[in-house]
Amino acid sequence: MDTDDSTIQTAGSKEPHTKGARLLRGAAVGLGTAIAALGAAELTAGIDRRFASPITQVGNRVIDAAPPWLKTFAIETFGTNDKPILIGSVIVILALFAIGLGVLSRTRLAVATAGAALFGVAGMASAVAGVGGAAAAVPSLVGGVIAVLTMRFLAHRAWPSQPPEHAKPEAGPAPVELESPTIHRHTGDPVVGLTSTDRRGFLRAAAAISLVGVGAAASGRRLRGRFDAAVDRAKVILPKARRPLPPALPERFAAGVDGSTPFFTSNAEFYRVDTALEVPQVELDTWTLRISGMVDQELTFTYAELLARDLVEADVTLTCVSNEVGGRLAGTARWLGVPLSELLAEAGVQSNADQIVGRSVDGYTCGFPVDVVDDTRTALVVIGMNGEPLPVNHGFPARLLVAGLYGFVSATKWLSEIEVTRFDQFDQYWVPRGWAAQAPIKTLSRIDTPAALGKIKAGRHPIAGVAWAQTRGIDRVEVQVDDGSWVDAELKPVPNSETWRQWVLPWDFTPGSHTITCRATDSTGALQIQDRAAPRPDGASGWHSVVTLVS
C-alpha cells in the first residue's frame, strides 16, 4: 500500500527519506547525545570524591518525591532489587527522552538543543537538592555542556541544510544535477536525503561518539573505585568487647532441620533496605560523629575515639518494617559497639527532649523516643558485625541499632550525627511519607519448612520456622494443620529476648494438599495479631500460612 512518505529511487545513491529512516536517524542523534553526556558526567564524577553521578542524584530525588504507595509497591514487588530497577527505569526514560529530542532536531534544532541542556539542569538541581552542595553538581554541568555540543554536531550531519521537502524552487536557471534526485511518489518534489557517503559519515560519527561515551562512563566508574571505603575498612582492627559474649554457638539455638533458617545471619546474606542508590563511601580520616541538639554540650567523636571506648557485644535480631507476613527481611547478628546511653549521658540530654534522630552522611534520618535509651534494651552505635568491621553496605563506619524498633525509625546507616530533639519539632524521613513516627516491632512468626507449595512424600516431616518479639521474647508457638487443633511446637533456646526464636514440630503427613498455619505468643501473654495488615504505616500483622503438597 502506498503512503505519503513512499519514494522512488530514480538513480544515484541518495537515501530514501522515509519516516522510518528519519526515526532511526533521529534515534541515533538522541542516543549518541545522551551517551556522550552521561559518559562525560560519569568521567567527571570520578575526578573528585565531592562530585556525584547525575543518574544517582536524579534517582535519589525520584525516591524522595515518590508517593508512599509507590515506595511500598517497589519494595513489596522487587524487594532488595528495587534500586537497580529504579536506576534502570531512569536510564530508560532518559533514553526515550533523548530519542524524542533527536527526532525533533530535524525540524526544531533550537528546541532539541534546549532539551539537551535540560539534562544538565536536571542533574544539577538534583545534586544541589541533596547533601553534596554545589560541588556535587559539577558533573551534571559538564554533561549538560557536552549534550548541547553533541546534539548540534550530530544533528548537522544527520539533517543536511537543504530546502524543506515541499518548498517551491526560486525562479532562475535549474541547478545542474550531478546525481538524479529521490522523487516523492505523489508530489514529484525532490526529497531531502543523505548521500551514501554522508550517511556513512554520520553513522561513523554517531558510533564513535557512543563508544567514547561508554568508555568515559566506564573509566569514571573505575576512577570512583579509588574512593571505595572498603580500603579503609580493611585496615581496621576491632578491639575486644569490654565483656565478650560466650562464643556464638548457632547449632545450640537453631531448629536443626533441613530448610530451617540459620540462627545467625551472615553479613553477606543479611538483608539491606535503605534509600541509598549509591552506597556512601566514607573516609575514616575525615569522618566524625556529632551529638547535637537539645544537649548540655555538643560532642564530636572520631572513629579512633569510638574504638578506644569500652565496647559491648550484643546478639540482636533486626526487622524491616517493609517485611510482609512470612517475609525474609529479618536477620540476627552479633553486634559490637558503643552504648548510646553513655554517649548521650556525656552530652547531657535536656529534660524536655523526647526524640533522638540519627542522621546519615547522605541526609537520611531516623527518629525514636529518648526513653528507649534508658530502659534495659540494647541501643548501640555499632562499629562491628559478626566479628568484622561493619560492612560498607550495612553502614560503615558506624550505624545505630536499637533493639525492638523497626529499622526505619532507629537503624541509621553511615551515621554522621545524633541529634536530640522533639517529635513536635522534627519528622524523620519516613513520617511525611505516610509511615508511623513510632514503631515498636510486632510479634510475628514464620514457617520456613515445608516451603510454600513444596512437594514432600507422605510420612513424618518437621514443620519449622522462627518467631520474634524483640525485647519481649517468645514464650509459645502453636501450629495448626488444616482445620485441626492448635499444637505447641518445641521452642529452641535463645541467648536473650532480643533475638528471634526458632521452633520445630514433627508431623505425620498424609497424601493430599495441606494448609499449615503458625502463631506466636510473647512473654507478656499477648497473642500474635490474626488480622492481616500491610506493612504501612507501622509493620505487617497476620498469621503465616503455607500450602504443602504431599504425595
Structural contact between residues 277 and 87, judged by C-beta atoms closer than 8 angstroms: yes
Residue type, 19: K
Note the pLDDT of residue 473: 98
479, three cell numbers: 501450629
Write the DSSP symbol of residue 190. Answer: B
| Pairs from 248-252 (Cβ < 8 Å, separation ≥ 24) | 248/315, 248/334, 252/492, 252/493
Note the pLDDT of residue 21: 85
CATH superfamily of 250-433: Oxidoreductase, molybdopterin-binding domain (3.90.420.10)
The CA distance from 401 to 317, in Å, is 10
Give me the CATH code for the 444-550 domain, please: 2.60.40.650
Note the pLDDT of residue 468: 98
Structural contact between residues 238 and 335, judged by C-beta atoms closer than 8 angstroms: no
Q: How many CA atoms lie within 13 A of 462 on its CB side?
A: 15
Q: Which H/E stretch holds residue 298? A: none
Note the pLDDT of residue 388: 97
Predicted TM-score (pTM) of the model is 0.80
Going 102 to 103 to 106 to 107, the CA torsion angle's sign is negative
Beta strands in 92-227 (DSSP E): 182-184
Beta strands in 434-511 (DSSP E): 444-449, 455-456, 459-468, 474-481, 487-488, 490-491, 501-509
Q: How many CA atoms lie within 13 A of 199 on its CB side?
A: 14
- Number of CB atoms found within 10 A of residue 156's CB: 14
Structural contact between residues 360 and 413, judged by C-beta atoms closer than 8 angstroms: yes
Note the pLDDT of residue 186: 37
The CA distance from 119 to 91, in Å, is 12
- The residues facing 504 across adjacent strands are 464, 490
Domain map of the chain by residue range?
A: 18-164+194-226, 250-433, 444-550
Beta strands in 15-151 (DSSP E): none
Q: What backbone torsions phi and psi does residue 79 show, to the nearest 5 degrees?
A: 60, -135
Q: How many CA atoms lie within 13 A of 249 on its CB side?
A: 9
Strand 455-456 and strand 544-550: pairing? parallel
Structural contact between residues 136 and 51, judged by C-beta atoms closer than 8 angstroms: yes
Biggest CA pair distance of the chain: 102
Instruction: Please give the chain's pLDDT, 551 residues, in tens.
Output: 444 443 434 333 444 457 888 899 999 999 999 999 999 999 999 998 888 888 888 888 887 777 767 766 776 677 667 778 888 888 898 999 999 999 999 999 999 999 999 989 999 998 888 777 788 899 999 999 999 999 999 999 999 764 444 444 444 444 444 344 444 343 344 444 556 667 888 999 999 999 999 999 999 988 887 888 999 999 999 999 999 998 877 788 999 899 999 999 999 999 998 888 889 999 999 999 999 999 999 999 999 999 999 999 999 999 999 999 999 999 999 999 999 999 999 999 999 999 999 999 999 999 999 999 988 999 999 999 999 999 999 999 999 999 999 999 999 999 999 999 999 999 999 999 889 999 999 999 999 999 999 999 999 999 999 999 999 999 999 999 999 999 999 999 999 999 999 999 999 999 999 999 999 999 999 999 999 999 999 999 999 999 999 99
Note the pLDDT of residue 38: 94
- Cα separations (Å) of 504 from 261, 316, 449, 451? 11, 21, 9, 14
